[in-house]
Amino acid sequence: MKKIFKFTTNFYGIATLSFLFWMIFIDSNNIVNQFKLSHKLNQLEDQKEFYQERKQKIQADRKELMNNPELLEKFAREKYFMKKKTEDLYVIVKE
C-alpha cells in the first residue's frame, strides 16, 4: 500500500496516470471511439463485398440480356409492361 501511495505522490506517477486517463476516456481518439470506428469499418467492408458481388451479377445479366433479343423482349414485357401495337395488355394485381 505504501508503494502505491508513494507512486501516486510522485510527480511522474501522477503525470503518467493523468496521461493514461486522458488518452483512454477524454481524448477524441479514445478507446471507445476507436472500437466503434473499427466496428463500423468492418460493417462497411462487408457491405462493399456484397455490393461488388451484386454489381458483377447485374453486369453478367445485362450482358446476357443485350446479346439475346428474345430475352430482352421478355424482360421488357414483364418489367415495363411493354406490348406490341396489336396486343392488349391485362395487368393482374395480387392483394
What's the full length of the chain, in residues?
95
Are the beta carbons of 89 and 83 closer than 8 angstroms? yes
pLDDT in tens, the chain (95 residues): 677 667 667 788 788 888 888 888 888 888 888 899 999 999 999 999 999 999 999 999 999 989 998 888 888 888 888 787 888 878 788 88
**Distance, CA of 34 to CA of 40 (rounded, Å):** 10
Listed by start position, the domains of the chain span 2-59
Radius of gyration of the chain (CA): 32
Q: What is the largest CA-CA distance in the chain?
A: 99
**81 in the Ramachandran plot: left (φ > 0), alpha (ψ -120 to 50) or beta?**
left
pLDDT of the residue at 48: 97
- What's the distance, Cα to Cα, between the start and end of the chain in Å? 76
User: 20 is written with which cell numbers?
Assistant: 493514461
Amino acid identity of residue 76, one-letter, is A
pLDDT of the residue at 8: 67
